[in-house]
Every structure is written in structure tokens, then in C-alpha cells.
Amino acid sequence: MDKKELAEFLRRRREMLRPADVGLVEGPRRRTRGLRREEVAQLAGMSTDYYARLEQRRAPQPSVQIATALARALCLTPDERDHLFALIGHNAPARLQPSEHVSPTLLRVLERLNDDTPALVLTDMAETLAMNPIATALLGDQTRHTGLARSGYYRWFTDPAERLYYAEEDRPRHSRMMAARLRAVLTAGSDVDRAARMVAELHEISPEFARVWELGEVARRYAECKTILHPDLGRIDIDAQVLFTENRAQTLVVLPARPGTDSQGKLELLSVIGHQAQVGLSG
């Protein structure tokens, strides 16, 4: 049980909720940011003293039943609930198994996409297992990396070239998203030990990572809309759509542009470039 991280996680989530979020009435003289400790305790069916001791790092390990009640009281997402269980010291439900082989289902979808629609298959560690030709033309070959650099999480905080594809104003938001996704993998991913090693190394070499990690955000979300800065064609606006395998170990990310836009025209040009590159390699 990690008492320090558990206390901080509970406090942050409590402060993020408003009384109306959990069906409580907010009085006119309320000064507390978020919920009060006694309100969380009431919602979770426990004593205020016990909940207070959790935030003060003085409580014994909560049971599975109490962990479940806390997750419900704090309106945690499934990813946040799994993270809470891990901090308390209970096993989160096993949802993932690592695999270097592309899911046959995702591979069939990838092969049937239009030539002008970039798509790639990622593991939960953000390792690229497959890309169609236009995705390679758009983002470069992301399957060539080795070691920790196979992970997009790791490259984002260690390789300046990785950021050249994103507008400068979008990079802070992307950093938070990458850290939030890595935190989800850390407690309920396909290779928790490897994720922990990556987190430890990133803390050593990236002050920015250490800073956004302290926010404590947890999510498996992907940005729905993003702008890619292509080195030759410039700005390309795309809408990200994702398809998970049932166990969420792999994800197909599809990156279409809106029909009739300049970005769609640029993707059509990239599809020609990607096809020519593929022909050149096969020749």
C-alpha cells in the first residue's frame, strides 16, 4: 500500500468534485474546494475519521469492499478505479496481455481502409506494431524504434524530433495526455513492470515528465481532433477515431481528414507518396 500516493490521489479526486456531481446540495456559504471529507465518507458508507486518516496517511489498508465504495463515491472512471486498487495494494482486474503480434481483427480493418486514410496499430504501451503506407508518409516509420524508444510515451519526453509533428501550442496538452495514459498502463496494463521502469527513467531524465506526472491524471483517452505538422505539406487537421481489442491490449487509431478540406487534399497527395514508397521498397 502506497500511503503517500493514495492520500494525494484521494485528495485530488475529492477536490475535483462538486456537490451537484454526487447529488448533494451546495450551500451559499460553502468555502471548501470540491467535496468535504465527511461528504465522501458519507457517500462511501464509512466513518469520517477513517476517511480522514486515509488522506493523512495514518489508516490501515482498506479492504476490497472499501476500495470499491471509495471508487463509487468519488465517481472514478474504470482506469482511475484500477489505479486506486493498485495504490491500496489489491489486484486490479486483469484486462490485458502483452503481445507482439497484431490482433487479426485490427489487421483486417487496417487492410480494408481507404488508401487516403492513415491508420496504425498500437499496443497499450504506445508501441507501433503496424502502419499503412499513408500513415508512414504522414508520421514517419514508427515501427523502426528499439528498446524503450519503441514507446511513444518515452519518445515524447526524450526525443525532440517527436514533437516536430505537433504545433507548439498543442504540446502541453499532449504531454498531459501521454502521462495520463502511461499512468493507466502502470496500474492496469499488459506489462506493469516495464511501465514502472519507464516511469522511473523518465523521472530521471525529463523534468517536464516529472511535472505533469505530479498532476495525477489517469486516462486511456485519445485526442479526437489534432493537427499534424508535416515537414513538406505543413498543417494537416485530422479527426482521430480508435478501435480497441476486447482486452484493450491493442488499439487501431484511424486518422481521417474532413471531406472537402485542404487537409483531405493533402492526405490524398500523401497516399500517392506512400504508394510510391511501397512500390520502391518492393522493387
> Does residue 119 sit in the same domain as residue 159?
yes
Give dist(CA 50, CA 63) in Å, integer: 12
Which one of 56, 88, 120 terminates a domain? 88
> Does residue 238 sit in the same domain as residue 112?
yes
Give dist(CA 246, CA 231) in Å, integer: 36
Task: Please check the confidence at residue 31 and state whether its pLDDT lies above 60.
Answer: yes
> Does residue 82 sit in the same domain as residue 111?
no
pLDDT band with cut points at 50, 70 and 90 for residue 282:
very low
* Residue range(s) defining the domain that contains residue 151: 104-168+220-282
> Does residue 110 sit in the same domain as residue 248?
yes
Which one of 61, 88, 115 terminates a domain? 88
85-131 pLDDT, tens digit per residue, is 889 988 665 555 556 678 888 888 888 887 889 999 999 899 999 99
CATH classification at residue 34: 1.10.260.40
Percentage, residues of the chain above pLDDT 90: 39
CATH classification at residue 241: 3.30.450
Contact status, residue 217 vs residue 176, Cβ threshold 8 Å: yes
> Does residue 114 sit in the same domain as residue 76?
no
> Strand, helix or coil at 243?
strand
> Does residue 23 sit in the same domain as residue 77?
yes
> Does residue 19 sit in the same domain as residue 80?
yes
> Does residue 46 sit in the same domain as residue 109?
no
pLDDT at residue 222, as a whole number: 67
Where helices occur in the chain by DSSP H, the ranges are 3-16, 37-44, 48-55, 64-73, 78-88, 104-112, 133-139, 152-158, 171-188, 192-205, 207-213, 262-282
> Does residue 227 sit in the same domain as residue 277?
yes
How many beta carbons lie within 10 A of that of residue 159, not counting itself? 13
**Residue at 173 is within a domain:** no
User: How many domains does one find in the chain?
Assistant: 2
**Residue at 208 is within a domain:** no
Work out the average pLDDT over 26-43.
Answer: 78
Which one of 60, 88, 116 terminates a domain? 88
